[in-house]
Structure 1
Amino acid sequence: MDYPKSVPSVGLVNSRFVDENPVAGTPGSLIPAVWGNSVTEELLAVITAAGMTPSENVNDQLLAALKTLLNLASPMSSRVTEVSTSKALMPEELGLVLISASATETTITLPAASSLSGVRDVVVRRTDNSVNRLVVQASGNDRIKFHTHLSPNGYPFLVLMGAGDWWHLRSDGASNWWPVGRFDATPLGRIVLETTTAFSPGGYGALNGREFLRSEWPWLWDHAVQSGMLRAEVDRAGGWSSGDGIKTFRAPEVRGEFVRVLDEQRGVDTARAAGTWQTGTNITGDNGAAPAVQGIANIATVGADPTTFTGLCYYVSATMTENLGSTYWGMTRPRNIAYPGRLKLI
């Protein structure tokens, strides 16, 4: 776009339009139709690119269009969009997207991560704490590049778990959304202890041997397959199981168990595989003597009042206690605290 310099009869002065001067007897510049149409088309192109319909009766469309396009040009829009039902997000709705799945299971589909849309950012954040599944789905064959240590191509969707859970995603214009940040980046599959029976947001589930669908938790299934702890359902113990062998798999069951660090070639607890279960055993004490086994069935009667007892309970019979220096002794379950166990699911 430029002044119509190529038209000599237009009457430009110093390459600019001038007014008619009756006193001096000089005519004003002319505006040819081709130039007027060109200017109009340039302005209309801006308005239509912003998704607006040109109108003769609206005088601020160009300004509104520029605001919209400048907003879209920034990777992170300043827009806040609230969603309470399944929908496909439009490019102009990206920014902070607040999602409630309190009414039903919900799927939010991201816009295509194409060269046309360019580099775009979105923060998807869950606002409700219901048990309804909330899925953030990539469009078409696009992928979300998380847990690429398990699958280099990433996954077609992720789930938001718990009120306040959020992911910050950035498209690369080449069919991918890349995580920039998230609420909880604890590694997938990690076991943690909680001081609450509620589930913290960020992707946690109970450590209870739950059965999962492979199609709904593909990254967790990949983790199980590559964990070295995947077994048949009948032999899963504290490891992962292959479920029905087709559609399902099962997480470790650890409720009520004591956890022991895997030996890993140290030679203290030999011939153990990760996630295997071990029965309780009577073992030789540190003094080299074998423990007494008399009266084990009545062990609950041994020792002092448990509310005042401050040490371990040693015994040789159901009615006697021995001190630590005894030649023969056995040990009851030590005093302990039970905390809820949680498993990082995403």
Structure 2
Amino acid sequence: MDYPKSIPSVGLVNGRFVDENPVAGTPGSLIPAIWGNSVTQEILSVVAGAGMAPSEADNGQLLKAIQAIIGVTSPMRSVVTRLAASKLLAPEELGLVLIDASPGAATITLPPANVAMGVRDVIVRRVDNSGNRLVIQAAGTDRIRFHTHLSATGYPFLVLMGSGDWWHLRSDSAGIWWPVGRLDGSALGRQVFETTLQMNPGGYGALNGNVLSRSEWPWLWDHAQSSGALTTEAARGGKEGGWTSADGALNFRIPEARGEFLRVLDESRGVDAARMPGSSQLHTLQKHNHYLPTGTGSAISPASSIPDGMWDVAHDVNASPTNTTSATTYPNPAFDAGVDAGIGSIGTFSAETRPRNIAYPGRIKLI
């Protein structure tokens, strides 16, 4: 495309247009037909390249066509949108969307992922740490395709949890938003330890047995149902580390693990058999005997000098031996199977059996 330098025409100076000058007696430029047609064809080629039909009534087609063509090669626009309340996003606001939910709970609705909008990207990022619920909602029947191992069609919304939490989504012009990236892609339901009491962003909650709404956390409820660790609220005793169906209709309960030691599930190894995920075991001391061989005398002191295998007289150094019973044979199948082995079901024995440990806050991935 260029000025019509090679086309003879009245009023053109080196192909450039000039105004009429009545004083000097020089005419204004007359646009030659061949140049006017070529300009029009240049514009129509851009419109056609975007897959659009030319329309005399639409004076914005060139801009729309350029946007569509750019969108194919780079669906992310250099746009920053700042929000502090619920809103339906317009296509021209897509880019980096920064959301402050500190004034209150908010829902940000994405524009329809249809042919008119085409393939577009958006990064939704939370900037506050208020704890107010922040929902990113798909329009109408559109879906966001995350956690498709639980639901092939995805879900109608997601939640941003904590300052700095973000998701990068791409529309496919067919009603679907596809996740391209996110702050934390750890597996749903995963338990982790933290070195801070603060809730790190990215979709985490406390591992505290809370009751949640099924409608607000549909993907997590789907996860619970497929976990193999779901039970009823009435049967929760001894299974506090699993999920429950709570009221059986509207909510569900997440696992509780505060103050507990965790153990790897046996999964057919036979060391800790007959356990289901999330089940608990009582404190247990394996039943065994301590004894003094017959004829060793009626008193031994100090207690620290008593040989292994002898009756523990630490609590009564003047006790006399009464039998020569051997200690319990190891391993003890009843103990290994988690069955009450004598004194294991009374008290906690925490002063005797608790190993040295460090306590960290437990978290669970909620989305």
Q: TM-score range by the shorter chain?
A: 0.7 to 0.9
- Does residue 337 (structure 1) correspond to residue 349 (structure 2)? The answer is no
TM-score, with structure 1 as normaliser: 0.73
- Does 1:48 find its partner at 2:60? yes
Partner of 2:184: 184
Structure 1 residues 219 and 31, CA gap change in structure 2 (3 angstroms): same
Residues 1:267 and 2:258 are matched in the alignment? no
Report the counterpart of residue 90 of structure 1 in structure 2. 90
1:19 aligns with 2:10: yes
1:164-243 equivalence runs, <5 A: 164-236=164-236, 237=239, 238-243=241-246
Which stretch of the first structure deviates more once superposed, 264-273 or 145-154?
264-273
8 Å CA contact 1:79–1:95 kept in 2: the answer is yes
Q: 1:31 to 1:246 in 2, by over 3 A?
A: same
Aligned partner of residue 235 in structure 1, secondary structure? coil
After superposition, give the CA deviation of every residue in 1:93-148 in whole Å (9 maximum; x if it has no partner): 00000000000000000011001111000000000000100000001100000000
CA distance 1:182–1:290, change in 2 (3 Å): farther
> After superposition, what is the alpha-carbon deviation per residue over 1:248-290, rounded to whole angstroms, capped at 9, x for unaligned?
0000111111111111111111111111111011126xxxx55
Corresponding letter in the other structure for 1:190 = R
Q: Who is 1:154 aligned against?
A: 154
Cα shift at 1:335:
1.2
SS at match of 2:135: strand
Structure 2: gaps (5+ residues): 13-28, 45-55, 292-302, 305-310, 318-325, 329-348
Aligned to 1:249: 252
Large movers: runs of 4+ above 6 Å? 28-32, 42-46, 65-71
Higher alpha-carbon Rg = 2
Equivalent residue of 1:19, what SS?
Answer: coil
Determine if contact 1:283/1:291 at 8 Å carries over to the other structure: no
Counterpart-to-counterpart distance in 2, 1:318 and 1:333:
20
Could you tell me how far apart the structure 2 residues matched to 1:291 and 1:186 are? Answer: 50
Residue type of the alignment partner of 1:18: S
What is the DSSP-based 3-state SS (H/G/I as helix, E as strand, rest coil) of the residue aligned with 1:189?
coil
Q: Is the 8 A contact 2:86 2:107 kept in 1?
A: yes
Per the alignment, do residues 343 and 20 of structure 1 end up closer, same or farther by CA in structure 2, a change over 3 Å counting?
closer
Task: Supply the distance in 1 between the matched residues of 2:120 and 2:353 (Cα, whole angstroms).
Answer: 61
Task: Judge conservation of contact 1:129–1:163 (CA < 8 Å) in 2.
Answer: yes
**Structure 1 Cα separation of the partners of residues 316 and 70 of structure 2:** 81
Contact 1:283–1:290 under 8 Å retained in 2? no
CA contact under 8 A between 2:211 and 2:251: conserved in structure 1? yes
Write the distance in 2 (CA, Å) between the matches of 1:19 and 1:317. Answer: 124
What is the alpha-carbon distance in structure 2 between the residues aligned to residue 318 and residue 332 of structure 1? 17
Query: 1:282 and 2:285 equivalent?
Result: yes
Matched to 2:251, the amino acid is: T
Q: Distance in 2 between matches of 1:48 and 1:234?
A: 64
Q: TM-score, normalised by structure 2?
A: 0.69
Distance 1:124 1:17 in 2: 56
- Asked whether the 8 Å contact 1:145–1:153 carries over to 2, the reply is yes
Residue in structure 1 matched with residue 106 of structure 2 by the alignment: 106
Shift of 1:45: 6.6
Give the conservation status (yes or no) of the 8 Å contact 2:68–2:118.
Answer: no
Q: Cα RMSD between the aligned structures?
A: 3.8
